[in-house]
Amino acid sequence: MTLTETQVPNGPAAAAILSAAIGCFALGLTTVAADKSKAVNKLMLFYPPSGALTGETTIAIVVWLVAWLILARLWRNSTRALGPINIASFVLLLCGLLLTFPPFVDAL
Amino acid sequence: MQLTTRELLTALHGMLFGGFFLMAIFGLVVELVRSRHTSTHIELTPRGRTIESWFLILMAAFGWLAVFTGTYVIYPWYRAKPPANTADLTAYPRYLLLSHPNTAAWHNLGMEWKEHIAFFATIAVTMLAFVLIRQRAALRQYPQLRNAVLGFALLALASCGVAAGFGAMVNKAAPVTGGNTITLIRSGQ
């Protein structure tokens, strides 16, 4: 960054990154919940021919978009410390990945 | 040369939407890596920005088309339950795979993972499109932002690769079939 360049807020980008990770983690949670509980599985049948997958993914998408909306409003004109946000995002992503990996889910 | 409506839609889902999505993410990763190793910042012309924005929007759109056609169109055909005492399971891919221990993992691991992980790639790419279109100035200023973007792009590429790879292999082991027959070319005898 040069001295003449003005500081640009990174809040909107940070909000987009963290909310995407939250959405992926939510997908992991809904996947495990539907796999482990018959009652939850039944609740996730938004479109029965596709099974619980439709509920799991719809809920995750809603969580992602709501988180994005909230964070984007909160961090609209601000500059955030990106280090902790990046770490939190990648931890959430990896946890989400693990929670959708069938051998791991079966072992829970 | 014939195929059925279900085969056609499965091909559109996997080869057009999914295939373009995978190739586009690969292109994005190459561009992000390349941009980390340039000595000076390269400013796009307004026309170049427009083209880049459309590429990113189309990439995300193809991702959503792939996951939604997969979830709401192809998957019900794949997991359709056969009537009792059905001996020929060819029209019921999920049950065909689960009927033999040598093919069951294509469903239990391949399909079960693919149907979820594809959404990771799509969510990540939508976020990347937003950041790359609307946050260009912030990307230039914050190296940690560029790191996060590249990390998500690599994860999207890996996720999409897993989904596409398992999708192709599952459809090879137990293809989705049925529907009306479409004749594309009829050879003269």
Residue B133 within a domain:
yes
Whole-angstrom Cα distance, residue A2 to residue A5?
5
Q: What is the pLDDT of residue B26?
A: 97
Closest CA to B16 of B79, B63, B83, B73: B63
What's the domain range around A29?
18-101
Sequence-distant (6+) residues with CB within 8 A of B172 are none
Closest CA to B14 of B170, B124, B178: B170
What's the domain range around B131?
2-81+90-183
Residue B46 within a domain:
yes
The answer to whether residue B134 neighbours chain A at the CB level (below 8 Å) is yes
Residue A27 within a domain:
yes
Residue A2 within a domain:
no
Averaged pLDDT of chain B = 93
Residue A22 within a domain:
yes
Residue A29 within a domain:
yes
Residue B25 within a domain:
yes
The answer to whether residue B166 neighbours chain A at the CB level (below 8 Å) is no
Which whole number is the average pLDDT over B54-73?
A: 96
| Chain A residue with minimum CA distance to B41 | A1
ipTM here: 0.92
Closest CA to A104 of B21, B38, B53, B109: B109
| Chain B residue with minimum CA distance to A56 | B116
* pLDDT class of A5 with cuts at 50, 70, 90: low
Residue B172 within a domain:
yes
**B5-37: string of b/e by CB count within 10 Å (b at 16+)?**
ebbebbbbbbeebbbbbbebbeebeeebeeeee
| Chain A residue with minimum CA distance to B69 | A50
3-state secondary structure at position A10: coil
Running DSSP on this structure, what letter comes out for residue A5?
S
- Letter for the amino acid at B118? A
Chain-chain contact of A60 with B119 (C-beta, under 8 angstroms): yes
Q: Following DSSP, what letter does each residue of B117-158 receive, concatenated?
A: HHHHHHHHHHHHHHHHHH-HHHHHH-HHHHHHHHHHHHHHHH
Instruction: Assess whether pLDDT exceeds 80 at residue B109.
Output: yes
Closest CA to B153 of B126, B117, B188, B186: B126
A-B contacts (CB, under 8 Å): 106
Count of structural domains, chain A: 1
Residue B109 within a domain:
yes
- Which of A82, A99, A106 should be substituted to probe chain B, the one whose Cβ sees the most B Cβ atoms within 10 Å? A82
Residue A12 within a domain:
no
How distant is the Cα of B9 from the closest Cα of chain A, in angstroms? 16
pLDDT digits (tens, 9 = 90+) for A12-36: 999 999 999 999 999 999 999 999 9
Closest CA to A22 of A94, A92, A98: A92
The answer to whether residue B3 neighbours chain A at the CB level (below 8 Å) is no
Whole-angstrom Cα distance, residue B170 to residue B163?
10
Residue A5 within a domain:
no
* pLDDT class of A4 with cuts at 50, 70, 90: very low
The answer to whether residue B145 neighbours chain A at the CB level (below 8 Å) is yes
Whole-angstrom Cα distance, residue A94 to residue B26?
21
3-state secondary structure at position B2: strand
Q: What is the pLDDT of residue B189?
A: 58
Measured CA distances, B6 to A85, B165, B185 (Å): 44, 20, 18
- Letter for the amino acid at A44? M
Find residues 19-38 of chain A whose CB sits inside 8 Å of chain B: 19-20, 23-24, 27, 31
Q: In chain B, what percentage of residues exceed pLDDT 70?
A: 99
Residue B7 within a domain:
yes
